[in-house]
Amino acid sequence: MLGKRKCKVDSCGSAAVTTLDHQAFCLNHFLLRCYEKLEGLDPRGRQLSSETVDLAPMRAFIEECSRKALDVSLQSENLSNLQRGRLLDILLWAGELFVLLRAPRTTLAPSTASPEGQFVLRTTSPDF
């Protein structure tokens, strides 16, 4: 698939198994990169915000990440159970994020009916 290419991480001498964001990665660094990026994209781990985000690059990464994880899981012959589990976890997480990005977003807005300064949840349409 990648021939004799090496992982793009400087201290790693392992052979690359796939690319992500146009960079070659060995299996372990591919898994780490996917987890880092998915965590950064997951709105469930952040404070609710009313700021708009550009969904196109987020969707593109999620699609690439899930496609590459599936390719690696189908093409690699010597995967450990832990590696297979992590690839499946990435596929499931990417699927959840894709659904979340399509669903209406919920934000906190100050309540005009409450003098105590409480907040209410407001649903907004996704940016397509």
Q: How confident is the model at residue 34 (pLDDT cuts 50, 70, 90)?
A: very high
CA angle (52 as vertex; 50, 56 as ends), nearest 5: 145
Confidence at residue 15, expressed as pLDDT on a 0 to 100 scale = 92
Alpha carbon distance 30, 83 (integer Å):
11
Distances in Å between the alpha carbon of 44 and those of 26, 33, 111? 29, 19, 22
The pLDDT-based confidence of 113 (bands split at 50, 70, 90) is low
pLDDT band at 10 (very low <50, low <70, confident <90, very high): confident
> pLDDT of 65-104, one tens digit each?
999 999 999 999 899 999 999 999 999 999 999 888 876 6
Is the pLDDT at 18 greater than 70? The verdict is yes
> What's the pLDDT score for residue 121?
41
